[in-house]
Structure 1
Amino acid sequence: MTSLIPAPRRVVAGFGEVRLTGDSRLCAGPGTEGVGRWLSAVLQQATGLPLREGRQPDDTGDTGIGLRLDPELGPEEYRLVSDPTGVRVEGGSAAGVFRGAQTLRQLLGPDAYRRAPLSRDRAWAVPHVTIEDAPRFRWRGLMLDVARHFMPKEGVLRYLDLMAAHKLNVFHFHLTDDQGWRVEIRRHPRLTEVGSWRARTKFGHRASPLWDEKPHGGYYSQDDIREIVAYAAERHIAVVPEIDVPGHSQAAIAAYPELGNTDVNTASSKGDTALSVWDTWGINPNVLAPTDNTLRFYEGVFEEVLELFPSEFVHIGGDECPKDQWRHSPTAQARIRELGLADEDQLQSWFIGHFDTWLSARGRRLIGWDEILEGGLAEGAAVSSWRGYAGGIAAARAGHDVVMCPEQQVYLDHRQAPGPDEPVPIGYVRTLEDVYRFEPVPDELTPREAAHVLGTQANLWTEVMEDHARVDYQAFPRLAAFAEVAWSALPAPAERDFAGFEERMTAHYARLDALGVGYRPPSGPRPWQRRPGVLGRPIDGPPPNR
């Protein structure tokens, strides 16, 4: 039980164990029925035990599993008690009970993560223990970029399961970018007809690029999105969609060229609104035109997005928006004069502010990358602080909520070790220990300012992750370390017991094996993962973008 990840706040070991048999029952009290269905399904497939519905263990003496709410506990707080009367998981909400059920699954051993029992005769037991636990942060997120490399729906559902197993609760779904538009918008069908496919994909070193000449693409239908959102909700994960504006919009402009700055001399603006979906990485010079037509178009997009995603927050990107086209666009300059703005930074702030007001009127909250601070930030907007801590500190001091996701610490596309052995080693070296010692709340913030830190998020940008195997390799085991940082009440970074975490990870690797996760081995890449040539060329310096 000392191998639990993320580490609980309080564990008191007992003596003995609760043995689950074919006669054991599972009772889900009022408000926990959904958790009961989930737990029964995953345990039945792994153990082969029927786990029929029954009464609460402590009411009958039956050594089964009982789930129930306790209004005295916090929303995601839980208490797990395994004793001679059975196993009880209590939470302040269904989400809290679900987090406790995840801990129960860990207590049953790694084979509890399999999709079929290895043996019908094996014994299943939960050690006697009392665990009291609650999360440090309300936002414990993972961002998955499906624009650069499309991940089919089944892969997304799998990552929601992996998030749930690590008590993460916010899935930031990066759906649009220069290289692809991945969500069906019925009133604008060309966004997926044209914008979801690119002709080829770049690999290798930026100084000597190589290309995969096969088309790449795909998108999620609205029914796919509904299924993903429902699947996440069953696991008490909020799905936050990201629709990038006004930069990172080449896929949309390729589908609807009138969204771009068509009045610009392309030679002077270093862009071309007639380009197709972008087939390389970096910062594309083509950005949305600040016109009423663009605003109405994206209002229509967001209307459909709000119908699909019930989340409190909607991410609008707002990062890496080059202003060169706006400087050369008569239309953009006329808009600046009309609004009485000082410069193009304030024009972007006006653009973001428009959608902040639009979303607020519909009961939602805008969140964007920390560039949205430039030129002034709308009052209700929240900030994803990715360019280090500075943006988050400035936002918190100005009274804005913040999600800390600095690229130097929690960009999991970055290399995991120095040297050429890492597959497509980009960005900064961030080891498992580096992630474990990440602290989301900067010392510079006062307690009042620190209260604006909603939590933290790890980001998976997929420029160099072409399939599930590569995403697994980059994400794990570092995502397990990140989950502990986000959930557990850890001491200061220098005082954290990384050796103890590594020891607990020896058991957790067996869980990841059972889940089929292709994690990076703690000893380094296996020979077949060293992928020399095109996919093994190092990329020096920071990542291609963000």
Structure 2
Amino acid sequence: MIPRPNLVRETGGSFVLTEPAVSLDPGLPAEGYVLDVGADGVSVRGGSPAGIFYGTQTLRQLRDSGTVPGVHIEDAPRFGWRGVLLDVARHFMPVPDVLRFIDLAAFHKLNVLHLHLTDDQGWRIEIPGRPRLTSIGSRRPRTMLGARQHGLFDDRPHGGHYTDDDLRRIVAYAAERHVTVVPEIDMPGHMQAAIAAYPELGNGFTGGVRTSWGISPHVLNMQPATLDFCRQVLDHVCALFPSPLIGIGGDECPVGEWASWSDEPHTIQRRFTAEMAAHLATHGRRVLGWDEILAGGAPPDAVIAAWRGVAPIAVAAAAGHDVVACPDTSVYLDYRQSDDPGEPTPVGTLLTLADVYAFEPPPADRLLGAQANVWTEHMESARRVDYMAYPRLCAFAEVVWSAGRRDFAEFSDRLRPHLARLDALGVNYRPLSGPRPGDARPGAPGHPRNLEDRLAELHEMTADLRRV
């Protein structure tokens, strides 16, 4: 079973699967459950409806041609935040594919979908009174093929956006599976798509939606009307998403365009983040931001998604912030899975199945949990997302659910029959033997990175945090 339950006792025998008797048990942890299979039938007790749901997911995995083994399982998660980010801005994912992604995450007992809805390369959400965000901002005339160092493009238009009803459907579908959808509108950087739609939001830029990967230098200005725009966007996001946290990004924001606004342009983002946090507080919500917002001091109740290695995890916790661990060198699932030349668009540092399984979030007083991130610059389809996410997301799910010592060989033994379950669910996972001939993308070359070079780069990138 994946993730591995924390206590399993086989009681012997094999029994015809019957509809389980379910009940709430307030003595159990909220997401915990007890599953019993025996001659008297199948029962699932949960500390809440979520616990019952997770017990039934374990039962699904135990099933074998209509029979289940006799077993007693007591189980509860290691972390309360067991998340996965899905980037639908770089490559739009239609609603049915998002729902399927949620199904698979919930099957592995993940409970947070961090939905990255906007970026330089596309805006995916309707905002009342701002029609050009989707008529212009959701479309780009071409898409970069492979890593940006190669300068290759496919010259095919790409676009798409979600209606309000689409997003309500996604939120409701996730809630039925005890998954919280945390939306992210990245600001004040990563905003070129919005500025392409409404140039008055920018600092003189009059071009289109970004077609290349990397960081756009074009960021929001700080005019009162632009701040009002941001508040309007967040108002609508709060109306659609009941999540107590709302992501505002805050990462990778160049300050060059702000030089004429202030002698200290680096302080502008801190004030911007504080204003957006104060506005979200009027809705009873908290900010979720990437660890860059720690520089100069983040809003006191902000939750930090620590991605630039492991150092920001300790910095965020020491500064009194709740923190989610998602270091790129351990849980970025767009990174290459092997050195095999058949891997599609190999970028980033090497991140094998074993590497993900070995990830151990550093202990911190305010650690909520961890999440894996699926950035889709190089994932042009749901099948490609499958290939990059699975089975590495299986390994991650065990890291954040299962307590105690982990053994990769033992996990690998359990993974092989689990892959048959993924086959039955139609998941285009990466074979353990390596990429198939059809998995390669020779027309979209990558840019592999060396781990030591990346760690040195991260040390330099987080120098500002060592002064927090």
Instruction: Please say whether Structure 1 and Structure 2 have the same fold, judged by a TM-score greater than 0.5.
Output: yes
Describe the shift of the 1:351–1:505 C-alpha distance in structure 2 as closer, same or farther (beyond 3 A). same
* 1:480 matches 2:394: yes
The match for 1:193 is 135
Q: Any idea what SS the aligned residue of 2:351 has? A: coil
CA distance in 2, matches of 1:528, 1:462: 19
Q: 2:324·2:371 contact (CA, 8 Å) conserved in 1?
A: yes
Q: Any idea what SS the aligned residue of 1:211 has? A: coil
Displacement of 1:207 in angstroms is 3.5
The match for 1:389 is 310
The match for 1:350 is 271
Task: Choose 1 or 2 for highest CA Rg.
Answer: 1
The match for 2:465 is none
Instruction: Note the aligned Cα RMSD (angstroms).
Output: 1.5
Q: Choose the corresponding residue for 1:247, options 189, 200, 203.
A: 189
Q: Which moved more, 1:216-225 or 1:375-384?
A: 375-384
Displacement of 1:135 in angstroms is 0.3
CA distance in 2, matches of 1:168, 1:507: 20
Q: Partner letter of residue 387 of structure 1?
A: R
The match for 2:22 is 67
Displacement of 1:345 in angstroms is 2.1
The match for 1:60 is none
The match for 1:113 is none
CA distance in 2, matches of 1:252, 1:206: 22
Q: 1:172·1:240 contact (CA, 8 Å) conserved in 2?
A: yes
CA distance in 1, matches of 2:227, 2:440: 46
Q: Choose the corresponding residue for 1:291, options 223, 227, 242.
A: 223
Q: Choose the corresponding residue for 1:436, options 357, 360, 378.
A: 357
Q: Any idea what SS the aligned residue of 2:8 has? A: strand
Q: How many residues align?
A: 453
CA distance in 1, matches of 2:179, 2:362: 23
Q: Partner letter of residue 136 of structure 1?
A: R
The match for 1:11 is 8
The match for 2:464 is none
Q: Partner letter of residue 221 of structure 2?
A: A
CA distance in 1, matches of 2:235, 2:266: 26
Q: Partner letter of residue 93 of structure 2?
A: M
CA distance in 2, matches of 1:391, 1:451: 13
* 1:208 matches 2:150: yes
CA distance in 1, matches of 2:44, 2:15: 14
The match for 2:253 is 321
* Deviation by residue 1:10-43 (Cα, 9 ceiling, x = unmatched): 00101223313xxx5x4xxxxxxxxxxxxxxxxx
TM-score (norm 2): 0.94
Gaps of 5+ in 2: 462-468
TM-score (norm 1): 0.81
Q: 1:415·1:425 contact (CA, 8 Å) conserved in 2?
A: yes
Q: 2:148·2:214 contact (CA, 8 Å) conserved in 1?
A: no
CA distance in 2, matches of 1:361, 1:298: 14
Q: 1:420·1:538 contact (CA, 8 Å) conserved in 2?
A: no
Q: 1:78·1:89 contact (CA, 8 Å) conserved in 2?
A: yes
Displacement of 1:476 in angstroms is 0.7
The match for 2:466 is none
CA distance in 1, matches of 2:309, 2:148: 24
Displacement of 1:473 in angstroms is 0.7
Q: 1:346·1:376 contact (CA, 8 Å) conserved in 2?
A: no
Gaps of 5+ in 1: 27-64, 110-122, 263-272, 337-342, 443-449
Q: Partner letter of residue 255 of structure 1?
A: A
Displacement of 1:205 in angstroms is 4.5
The match for 1:46 is none
CA distance in 1, matches of 2:412, 2:347: 25
* 1:538 matches 2:459: no
CA distance in 2, matches of 1:279, 1:193: 16
CA distance in 2, matches of 1:541, 1:256: 36
Q: Any idea what SS the aligned residue of 1:203 has? A: coil
Q: Choose the corresponding residue for 1:164, options 106, 120, 145.
A: 106
Q: 2:133·2:197 contact (CA, 8 Å) conserved in 1?
A: yes
Q: 1:180·1:277 contact (CA, 8 Å) conserved in 2?
A: yes
CA distance in 1, matches of 2:76, 2:44: 13
Displacement of 1:127 in angstroms is 1.2
Q: Any idea what SS the aligned residue of 1:305 has? A: helix
* 1:502 matches 2:424: no
Displacement of 1:138 in angstroms is 0.4
Q: How does 1:444-483 map to 2 (within 5 A)?
A: 450-483=364-397
CA distance in 1, matches of 2:77, 2:298: 29
